[in-house]
Amino acid sequence: MLKLEIPNFPAEFDNAWRASKKRKVSYRGKLLLPGEDAAIVVTPDALHTFLDGAPTPAGHPLMALAKNFEEEIRRATASEFGLLLREIVIVGRWHDNGGYGKDFEPYITRKIGNDGNVMSYKYDYRIFPCDGLGSGESFSMDFSKKEKGAEVRDCLTFFAKDITTPVDLSERAVITLGLPRGAIWYPPKTAGFPILVTEWERFKNWNDEEIIEPVLPKHGTARESPPLPFSL
């Protein structure tokens, strides 16, 4: 719950298909920054912060950030507590921010009901300065009823690798620049399908001359595959 990873995607996807009357489902992708998984846990009377599932130490900058934006966090979430929810977890990445230290990029909101049920959604609050800009979100793929969860997972993973693998770029440059190494794929909010987080260790066997040329599998329909949203 405190990390981005969502287990059992294939089974949850297949269950959602069986319960759905739709003939297709569209997933939209957002580039995933490298860094530590970070979480801000919001309850009616407290804020807590975590890195990679562990509480942040006293004085950590992530806790300072949460405290600095506590008024905005309270304003955005106030109406959801009470009869419906007991806890909201904003999960994202604690990532390098150029020469400005580290910053928090939110990706997923987990809402825990009073009955203990947990629902995951795309983060869509307006709390932090860059919220709502939609950067790195111009990717999408459609799937039909015949496609199974394991196929969809593999297809979106390959698609994410295709859109984030730089061309003619050395391993050293990729690591130094801190470029995205995957994507998070969101279904329509009310569709009942699971979110997918796709990320991989792609630098282990690279050398400075090697060029990666990923190929999409023959599942799904990519409706847009634009160039990377940065220049080198």
Segment 209-224, tens digit of pLDDT = 443 444 445 566 665 5
Residue ranges, CATH 3.30.470.30, the chain: 36-122
Binned at pLDDT 50, 70 and 90, residue 172 comes out as low
Q: Does residue 226 have a pLDDT over 60?
A: no
Query: Taking 90 as the threshold, does the pLDDT of residue 204 lie above it?
Result: no
pLDDT tens digits along 7-65: 899 999 999 999 999 999 999 999 999 999 999 999 999 999 999 999 999 899 999 99
Strand order, beta sheet including 54-55? 54-55, 46-51, 36-43, 85-96, 102-113, 118-122
Overall fold of domain 36-122: D-amino Acid Aminotransferase; Chain A, domain 1 (3.30.470)
The helix/strand/coil state of 106 is strand
Does the pLDDT at position 231 exceed 70?
no
